[in-house]
Amino acid sequence: MKKGLIFILLGMLSIIFLSCQRGSDQAGGAPRIAFVMKTANNPFFIDMQKGAEEEARKLGVNLVVQAAEREVDVEKQMQIIENLIQAKVAALCVTPSGSREIVAAIDKANRAGIPVVIVDTRVDAKALGESKGKIASFIGSDNYEGGKLAGEFIAKKLGGKGKVAVLEGIPGHETGDSRLRGFRDALKATPGIEIVASQTANWERDQGFNVFQNILQSHPEVQAVFACSDLMALGAVEAIAAAKKTGQITVVGFDASDEARQAVLTGTMDATVAQSPATMGAMAVENAYRLIKGEQIKEEVVVPIRLVTKDSASANTNK
């Protein structure tokens, strides 16, 4: 009787052990892929999540999506990733809130044998090289080229001469820095365009409003603004309306969110750069799944970008 009980207990322990193997869903053995975004409150990342979830359904994987409340909360994102590593997910897809800070999490995932797919924002190459950490793939658009598109559009819109303001992302973060660099480089070809103010609004709409309102007070001659994200651009649109200057200042954003497209259609914004977040999300999950299966994937996948103006805003190219 005792031997029988021992065998039963051993059998139960084996079942529990098997069900808890890394990356498995206890209900049906489906691999668990974690997708950690910067935030779930930004339309850009909402679209990215939709794309990831749709692909996960197609592949039959268990997708866990988590994010900090604010894009600037790097520490919270690191805590989320740490917990997912401890939970032994099969693969990690991450849009880093901090290009350098994420390296420590990548190192931990490497030690745990969990492959990492980076999405949208590149990891700081120097920091990653120094740590000898490894990522399986980067999936995203060329933010530098997107910034150049915005700069070329504004230069043409102003006829090669005018005063411009910039709403930056978080300083030191690859995404915003690349967009800003591309924008500035584009304007070098048009010396008649002067950037009179360039300040961070931390990717947030309310800060976009406050910062651009202050810029308008100190530089009322501003004729155009480039915001490194649509949320900041929409904040600038509200500041322009409050100053009773709607239609007098060219506004260009980045992300081509539904609200930004609508603003382009109605004329309160002039353009926005589309970079297909839903496609990024889907491709991240697909590549993570292929890694779990032991397949080879590309080290880098560049998602096409395009400038959305009034002529093209009605086409749903963001999805």
Q: pLDDT, tens digit, for every residue of 119-156?
A: 999 999 999 999 999 999 999 999 999 999 999 999 99
Percentage of residues in the chain with pLDDT exceeding 70? 89
206 with 134, same domain? no
The torsion of the CA quartet 88, 141, 300, 200, rounded to 10 degrees, works out to: -60
Asked if residue 55 belongs to a domain, the reply is yes
Q: What is the CA radius of gyration of the chain?
A: 23
Among candidates 214, 211, 158, 213, which has minimal Cα distance to 187? Answer: 158
Number of domains in the chain: 2
270 with 153, same domain? yes
Asked if residue 35 belongs to a domain, the reply is yes
Per the model's pLDDT, the better-predicted residue between 318 and 177 turns out to be 177
User: How long a stretch of residues is the chain?
Assistant: 319
184 with 270, same domain? yes
150 with 135, same domain? no
153 with 234, same domain? yes
Query: What is residue 315's predicted lDDT score, i.e. its pLDDT?
Result: 54
29 with 125, same domain? yes
Residue 16 has pLDDT above 70, yes or no: no
Residue 9 has pLDDT above 80, yes or no: no
Q: How far apart are CA 223 and CA 231, in angstroms?
A: 20
Mapped to the 3 state alphabet, what secondary structure does the chain carry? Answer: CHHHHHHHHHHHHHHHHHHCCCCECCCCCCEEEEEEECCCCCHHHHHHHHHHHHHHHHHCCEEEEEECCCCCCHHHHHHHHHHHHHCCCCEEEECCCCCCCHHHHHHHHHHCCCCEEEECCCCCHHHHHHHCCCCCEEEECCHHHHHHHHHHHHHHHCCCCEEEEEEECCCCCHHHHHHHHHHHHHHCCCCCEEEEEEEECCCCHHHHHHHHHHHHHHCCCCCEEEECCHHHHHHHHHHHHHCCCCCCCEEEEEECCHHHHHHHHHCCCCEEEECCHHHHHHHHHHHHHHHHCCCCCCCEEECCCEEECCCCCCCCCCC
Asked if residue 310 belongs to a domain, the reply is no
Per the model's pLDDT, the better-predicted residue between 274 and 174 turns out to be 274
Q: What is the mean pLDDT of residues 159-176?
A: 92
Asked if residue 89 belongs to a domain, the reply is yes
Q: How far apart are CA 29 and CA 25, in angstroms?
A: 5
Asked if residue 135 belongs to a domain, the reply is yes
Whether 68 and 39 have beta carbons less than 8 Å apart is answered as yes
Sheet of 271-274, strands arranged across: 193-200, 162-168, 224-227, 250-255, 271-274, 306-308
User: How does the average pLDDT of the chain come out, rounded?
Assistant: 90
Q: How far apart are CA 7 and CA 21, in angstroms?
A: 21
Assign 311 a pLDDT band (cuts: 50, 70, 90): confident
Asked if residue 319 belongs to a domain, the reply is no
Residue 229 has pLDDT above 90, yes or no: yes
220 with 269, same domain? yes
134 with 255, same domain? no
247 with 269, same domain? yes
153 with 258, same domain? yes
Asked if residue 164 belongs to a domain, the reply is yes
The torsion of the CA quartet 225, 231, 234, 236, rounded to 10 degrees, works out to: -40
Query: What is residue 241's predicted lDDT score, i.e. its pLDDT?
Result: 98
Residue numbers of the domain that contains 247: 143-274
Whether 165 and 195 have beta carbons less than 8 Å apart is answered as yes
Residues 6+ apart with CB under 8 A from 116: 91, 92, 93, 94, 106, 109, 110, 134, 135, 136
CATH number at residue 86: 3.40.50.2300
188 with 295, same domain? no
215 with 258, same domain? yes
Asked if residue 6 belongs to a domain, the reply is no
